[in-house]
Chain A
């Protein structure tokens, strides 16, 4: 089966999913974060009854509305791609993966969409309290949507609560609670949504900085900045905390991802974290090139990050590919042997079943069960295929971390000068503030790359490589839809940016 895979089809299908996800990921984090800030503004309006706060709330609500519509459009296309380009994946894990997506659609998205209408059109039509309740429910609903999407994503990274049914060759859900409370899901949800809070705060900071530079809507901009900077500052701290938790989960369940984003080829005790480094992108796992052109490491920190213990051993890419007996690490080569046994025994089981040989089927199934944790490795051709793109993972991770360190300092600076009441005079800070939104966008996209490129070659960690998860399509078919989506998404993005810039230029209603 695997010999017939058209690798370029898989590459194009991956590229198409990456394209859709990256466009989707421009709009969604803004939605997830800004709904909370709008709820804050709306609450202040209801408590004070001030028309200025009402106008401020309506302004940010309008920008959120423009963004929301395009986020939905790209999200729906992404879900369809599971069926079009990844139909083997959908067939094999649909019973598990489909459940959170369905709950997301039925419960969370409907909740969000219903109250979204009340939030937008409810001014002077419903009571102030119900209107405010609707705004909060939009925030709750959009973040609940994220819960279920991230539960589904986390299951791909750490497939718990499932069992493989040899009769249907499908993975089936055995414990819903394990799937929902998967530690990777909780860590992903808290990290992703708090990063979205930070991103939305940067969005408000950028636009408000521009108003202050232009001397327009000064009071509104100052008020918006204070709320966004405090929310962004607290969210930044929490992003760092949950990022540490995410790295710990990676070390426990996806050690190859951790080794890749740290460029760690040779595992070591008391492993250091690369604070700054230029990675050698031509380095291969089985050559003797130096992994870095230049690097500065902080000793011991990677061991602490990975295992919560200084001095502990952190496996490198070589250990995970070729094994390390001393540390009791089984290499991908040995896992491949076990995976191939699992595949052969599954085939034998089906043949015995078809022939009515129950004893033979039971014996084959018993051997399959002993090796099924390595099922996916049986589809790999070489142990080196288990290694994700190291340079891309490393660069994305370090860009995310560096930017994530800068943002709280920016929020602090804005709060300090707001406190001193000299913010409007700090042209350098306001100029920097305008570009913060774009830096936030880069950090967000980099985070997505770390999470999804770092788990390659797996669609489902250790169980299903992307080469098997794909649909039986030609590369040309996927190329055609790739370029169609590229054009469509770009038009949508241009439309969104144009409408948004126009609204920003108009600004909030004045009393």
Chain B
């Protein structure tokens, strides 16, 4: 690679990074701009920051419970999906049985189901059993796609563990279940952690299910956003503040989990 090429490549990379990050930076700046600065005709890049929007929208407007809702929902979905999905993934990784790949395909389709198609009947069914506008409804809805993510991702991680470990554990006297809990799980812990983070992110970011299944009490943070964007005018400082808070865990988690992202997002097809 000659020097000229290297310079050009570096320039291209910088341009790409600027394009990728500017919108987010701009959103953050909007969340700490005064109303005047945010709505100025000419975009303002240098200004005195103000944090007034954050307490206004979270405390005065009562958006803080939404943060809590998002946390509870995402956390519960993650725990539930892992508890149910990880043992299932183990079975796919180690056992042979008729119809195994067909069952696996079924798990795939659950991940692919269009949310709009699922939420319509789900909304009606949940309202019949009185589950609408509860966190539980959203938790159940999110589990539909997270469960298969867990199964798909963890199957790959379990398959990476050599079978000899299983066999050694069984020679040591464990039952299969005991071996799973005492030997395999600790070894698969990094994979479980990565899967958990991905689960959390997907649930935290989810919008459509939360929008339909919840009316007021159990609103998650993402649903709070359109509420502030009205045809009569949008409080940009506040809505930006909400959005930024919604992105905080994501930014942190992205850095933590980027090593396993490829595997998770391609359903284990690519190891990355």
Verify that A and B bind, or say they do not. no
Chain B residues close to A by CB (< 8 Å): none
Chain A residues close to B by CB (< 8 Å): none
